[in-house]
Structure 1
Amino acid sequence: MQNHLQRLVGRRSGSTTIAAIRGMTLIEILVVLTLIGIVMGIVGGNYLGQGEKAKAKAAKIEIEQIGQTLDLFRLEVGRYPTTQEGLQALITAPTGVPNWNGPYWKKNTLPKDPWTNEYKYASPGQHGAYDLWSYGADGKEGGEGTNKDITSWE
């Protein structure tokens, strides 16, 4: 038996105990689990950050698509929907608009931003014929990073 243990350990001194080859100590297991946690935190943190950036890009693309739909509305009706009519004018005809030939938005519901908030719309806008924006991840005006507003004018 002693010979067999020495071969398993790799020809160490005869004082090697069976406990040395049984497995890892509790401290070693805790160190390994801590290292795995650190690596997962770094990888997961980077992955989550990318997810929010992807949502911001998706919001920018959708704002551009809604903008193109608003342009089509203007071509047929002769003006953009008013602030009061809102984006709903892309789906249902506003009162007193004879040239409305919609719905202009393919779906029967207005799109929401990737954070499930409604897009904001104003016409006339402060930055152009209309302003269209999302308040970003935090749903509040202003902000930085992923909380920054996503707008049609920037």
Structure 2
Amino acid sequence: MSRKHPISAFRSPRSQQGFSLLEIIIVLVLIGGILVLVGSRVMGGADSGKVKLAQSQLQTLAGKIETFQLDTGRYPQQLSDLVTPPGNVSGWLGPYAKESELQDPWKNPIEYRIPGETQRFDLISLGADGKAGGDSVNADIRNE
């Protein structure tokens, strides 16, 4: 009865085969494709979240403008009037906003137009691209 030595149960390094270069490249391409797909979904979700944040931010800022108007009897001439008191205005009880609140989630300045197109004033975020118009996350966002 011949017994094999335990070490002889392993193959010699010469008889083992590894992956070919082509197989490694295919696996890397597949992994890369999966990472791109996951990354685009995560990044797309971040932009979608910023759109909702911008909508909420514009509504909050509109409320602060209304509070300014109640205190002073007039609307601010520019958004910076919410941060620092404008000259010749009585009843200013601010600051009503922080300087950082005057920028949208993409760090672009929020546009303030008085009078507005359909209301007393308009607040507008130009979206992710910071340009007028656009669609999806690049679309302009307005207070309602």
Q: What is the CA deviation profile of residues 88-131 of structure 1, one whole-angstrom value per residue up to 9, with x for unaligned ones?
A: 111122222112221111x3555311111100001111121110
- CA deviation string 1:23-80 (max 9, x = no partner): 2111111111011011011101111111111111111111111111111111111222
Superposition RMSD in Å: 1.9
Tell me which amino acid in the other structure corresponds to 1:74: Q
Q: Does the CA-based 8 Å contact 2:80-2:99 persist in structure 1?
A: no
For structure 2, the 5+ residue unaligned runs are none
Counterpart of 1:33? 28
Q: Residue 112 of structure 2 aligns to a residue in which SS?
A: strand
CA distance in 1, matches of 2:30, 2:73: 63
Is 1:97 equivalent to 2:94 in the alignment?
no
Task: Give the TM-score taking structure 1 as reference length.
Answer: 0.80
- The residue aligned with 2:15 is 18
Match for 1:4 among 5, 9, 24? 9
Distance (whole Å) between structure 2 residues aligned to residue 98 and residue 42 of structure 1: 56
Alignment of 1:103-142 (within 5 A): 103-105=95-97, 107-108=98-99, 110-142=101-133
One-letter amino acid of the counterpart of residue 129, structure 2: D
Q: Matched residue pairs, number?
A: 136
2:68 to 63, 67, 73: 73
Using the size of structure 2 for normalisation, the TM-score is 0.85
- What one-letter code is carried by the residue in structure 2 that aligns with 1:53? S
8 A Cα contact 1:91 1:109, kept in partner? no
Q: 1:116 aligns to what SS in structure 2?
A: coil
5+ residue gaps, structure 1, are 9-16
Q: Do residues 48 (structure 1) and 39 (structure 2) align?
A: no
Instruction: List structure 1 segments (4+ residues) > 6 angstroms apart after TM superposition.
Output: none
Contact 1:73 1:90 survives alignment (8 Å): yes
User: Structure 1's 121 and 35: CA in aligned 2 closer, same or farther, altered over 3 A?
Assistant: same
Counterparts of 1:34 and 1:116, CA distance in 2: 36
Taking only the aligned residue pairs, the percentage that are identical comes to 38
